């Protein structure tokens, strides 16, 4: 099952240009966009010392090793009972697991709620590469880096 990707359009070109190709725009089965980040496949040994040289489980889908996974760039909004990764819009809050899963699945084949394996892959990669993200836990900034402020832009 693959994502429905339209021909290169102005929005996708602008996002890819603004992020040096690190982000793209993918479209659901209704043609609505989400900004996504590509995570190239890596092995367990790349992120855990002494681990086997096998693909991280996040890259194994129904027994098939994938070359990459795609993760939402932004916390999702919900429109028409579908989740979308869109900048500059406040994300949907107070959503339970079943609702979140449904909002993602409603987008069509290939769309899904982020799995535990995907979360773990990103966390391990970030830790190994010393790029642990900080968040908004102190009125718009992180308590450990109050000089950094969030932005709704790409």
Spell out the SS3 assignment of 69-89: EEEECCCCEEECCEEECCCCC
Residue 37 confidence class, pLDDT cut points 50, 70, 90: very high
What residues does 71 pair with on adjacent strands?
37
Residue 17 CA to residue 9 CA, distance in Å, equals 12
The percent of residues above 70 in pLDDT, for the chain, comes to 92
Query: Of the candidates 35, 22, 28, 23, which has an alpha carbon nearest to the alpha carbon of residue 6?
Result: 28
* DSSP strand pairing (64-65 vs 60-61): antiparallel
| Model confidence pTM above 0.85 | no
- Cα angle for residues 26, 41, 21 (degrees, 5° grid): 45
User: What pLDDT score does 83 carry?
Assistant: 98
Residue 9 confidence class, pLDDT cut points 50, 70, 90: confident
The tens digit of pLDDT for each residue in 106-141 reads: 999 999 999 999 999 999 999 999 887 777 777 777
65: which 2 tokens? Answer: 């090793």
Residue corresponding to tokens 């993200």: 133
The percent of residues above 90 in pLDDT, for the chain, comes to 74
Residue 121 CA to residue 127 CA, distance in Å, equals 10
106-140 b/e (C-beta count within 10 Å ≥ 16 → b): bbeeebebeeeebeebbebbeeeeeeeeeeeeeee
User: What pLDDT score does 6 carry?
Assistant: 52
Q: 39 and 68 in contact (C-beta within 8 Å)?
A: yes
């Amino acid at each position: 099952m693959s994502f429905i990707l339209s021909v290169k359009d102005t929005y996708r070109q602008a996002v890819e240009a603004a992020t040096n190709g690190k982000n793209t725009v993918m479209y659901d089965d209704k043609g609505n966009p989400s900004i996504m980040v590509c995570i190239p496949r890596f092995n367990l040994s790349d992120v855990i010392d002494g681990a086997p040289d096998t693909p991280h489980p996040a890259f194994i889908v129904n027994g098939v090793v994938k070359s990459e996974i795609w993760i939402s760039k932004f916390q999702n909004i919900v429109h028409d009972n579908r989740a979308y990764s869109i900048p500059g819009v406040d994300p949907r809050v107070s959503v339970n697991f079943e609702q979140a899963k449904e909002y993602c699945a409603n987008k069509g084949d290939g769309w899904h709620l982020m799995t535990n394996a995907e979360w773990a892959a990103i966390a391990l990669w970030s830790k190994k590469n010393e790029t642990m993200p900080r968040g908004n836990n102190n009125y718009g900034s992180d308590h450990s880096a109050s000089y950094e402020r969030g932005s709704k832009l790409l």
